[in-house]
Chain A
């Protein structure tokens, strides 16, 4: 067998096209481009929302108008023209299906290409799917099982109609409308998303999962997710994304809010594989996401993410550790290739006593990509005995990519214990030599090392997702895995 070197790997990375790029032609009803109060009102009306929701959106829109697009992130891109985007698109046929036979066959084929066969899903894994194709949820499974436990899992537009009291109480409490530019935009125009409520003391028996797809040309997708875990409950939530190959930049500005009440635990896992642009850096999705969780007493929120896609990523899943003894975790693998740019990390805000946070971030950059970790660990003066451990490691492949770390650490309490460490390295020749020496060829050795490098994070993914995560890593770094 010929010797497999890093150069070969780099060559492969260069030529590897986006495998899952395809485009399903479903008639959509799409709004004209542009954004103004009328459009916001129209979105709200289209979704048959109550008056308070319309007002909430309009308030967000007014705040957004006053705001400026942030520029502090370590990414360069052509700013989207917010007036050239259509803010609403929904698949045309929108009935609520009782069985899969009624679903648009073309849509089913889309899912099949993605490897999510709904019937299989029903029989097998025990994963309830709230499938989102371009903003409107068209199929919900396992609702019955969840219903028996009192778990509410539905699209957020349904939730606004059916459970307005919950939505009204929690929407915008963790990520307020004025939080940042993209959060404000999302608050004004969000089309759909998932809503999940776990009642007191209930352990959700299955992994909840939503698939996001950006499907219509020129439509930005503005998802809004709200997960509420009531006292003593537990939920594991999965979010996975793939998008069709497209030349023009697509904007995605999602907001995810998690609320873990006393003693509750939320595990939120993401696998993101949106179109990263082709090898010349043309096209690709802009991913500007605000994700934040609030922990009450003894609660725990754990973010796990595998980021392989998007041309530009700007994403900081955060935890506000408000209650005493609460725990925040962040595990992340970010892979960038070609001209991808990622500026991602987390914020851990320690407010309560005895709060703990763990940050494990692994960045792999190849090609001409730029990969940045940006994190904040803040210990407030009343947060006695706060504990943080952060580790950010970067692996560089090729000499045209860059890895950057921007950790901010702010401690205002003397009992705080904070550790931060970061390393940057390439796959060591001695490591490969060690493997070769023991009869492992170079290809396997690289696979072994990359796998080992990301193991800490991959291990944190739920079983159902681990396979998919592996698959996505393969696309981004084929040849180095397995």
Chain B
């Protein structure tokens, strides 16, 4: 039985078990129909031309976690940004771990999707926002059909959330192969400000497939900063679907730090519904071995006077493959749009490859849109300069590569997070230097 059949046939059992109100029930039933019809995307689809899911779909995943697993903080401390105070929403094999988490209802709601879906006091928010930004593609629909758990963050008007929120999904590998489908909802009210750090982490070498959907709503003048850390085990794959709807004068940024896993696909979609919106999409990808990272971005400019900034850097070693497919759509009404897109890549192995497709679709005339994309090597002169001053080759290369990706790091607003990323980069590049610049 292939994975699709397995998922479709276990849907009924799932529905009976979660037993939630009719609102989500209808959405789920519709979604499973879409998935059943479309199935998993194949390379024949233009959006999946360079990424094949075949290698990860053949595992016999257990679709629901059978038992609750517990973890001690000491086991997983290293995956937290632990040197700052923060709210934490922790999941172990898709189940909420109250033991490790630190949630709140004090003025803001930082809690669980399962609670939000079931309790009447959240009903209004759920009806207004849940599944309102998410697309209708097959993987998102699959997630919608099985949506029951994840982070629920609701920040009302005029609140500045003092502490960042960390969302961590651990998989223990207690089963031979696990499939997880977390569903997150983030609603940020007018003038509010929130910072979120998200990480998916597998703790063993057993295969894990995560198909995650996050919906983010940034209302008027809200500021949302979302950081994704993807530095998983070699057998963990992640399909991360993020949908962001922005209202007028809001600022939203998503930083994606993709350092691995077996296959990582980021579908990042921004919809600008209002004027003077600013969207930022940045990413660093450093991978090796046979890893595959695919960034698929969409920025939809619908109204005038908005901006978007995209900057993706990639370093590809060994037999790794990278994909960047960035699409900017500027509608007829969206005059005075400024849209920028840059994608720079370095291949450091003959077996590595990169496919990039920066795409502009423009229907308005008074716009400034540009995209640039490069594939190149490290500057030999700079290498020579450093080596002639006694810096070993490996460190010299690492310094250059760090400098190459530093643009993206500069806009990270949490210093501790920046340090952590820097450490991961140093680790990835196999050097022990701090890059404390």
Contact = CB atoms under 8 A, between A and B. Distances in A.
B133 interface: no
Nearest to B325: A408
Nearest to A382: B350
Contacts of B356: 408-410
A401 B377 contact: no
Given A399-B332, A417-B375, A421-B372, A404 B347 contact: no
Nearest to A385: B377
Interface string B353-370: 111111111111111111
A394 B347 contact: no
A412 B361 contact: no
Given A399-B332, A399-B335, A414-B349, A409 B373 contact: yes
Interface string B187-225: 000000000000000000000000000000000000000
A425 B368 contact: yes
Contact of A407 (B359, B370, B376): B359
Chain B residues touching A, majority SS? strand
Contacts of A396: 362, 364-365, 367
Contacts of B350: 381, 413-414
Contacts of A72: 46
A30 interface: no
Contacts of B367: 396, 424-426
Q: Which 10 A-B pairs have the closest CB atoms?
A: A396-B365, A414-B347, A418-B375, A412-B353, A420-B373, A424-B369, A421-B372, A402-B363, A423-B370, A426-B365
A408 B377 contact: no
Interface of B: 46, 332, 335, 345, 347-377
Contacts of B365: 396-399, 401, 426
With most chain A CB atoms within 10 A of its CB, the pick from B349, B352, B362 is B362
Interface in A414-442: 414-426
Contacts of B352: 414
Nearest to A423: B370
A406 B370 contact: no
A480 to B, nearest CB: 14
B10 to A, nearest CB: 36
Contact of A409 (B351, B355, B368): B355
Contacts of B360: 403-405, 422, 424
Nearest to A399: B365
A415 B369 contact: no
24 contacts: A397-B365, A399-B335, A399-B363, A399-B364, A402-B363, A403-B360, A403-B362, A405-B359, A405-B371, A408-B355, A409-B355, A409-B375, A410-B356, A411-B345, A416-B376, A417-B375, A417-B377, A418-B376, A419-B374, A423-B369, A424-B369, A424-B370, A425-B367, A426-B366
Given A72-B46, A408-B357, A421 B370 contact: yes
Contact of A422 (B332, B349, B366, B371): B371
B376 A417 contact: yes
Contact of B371 (A408, A414, A421): A421
Interface string A372-396: 0000000101000000000000101
A414 B353 CA distance: 8
Contacts of B374: 417-420
Nearest to B321: A412
A344 to B, nearest CB: 15
A400 B357 CA distance: 25
Contacts of A424: 360, 362, 367-370
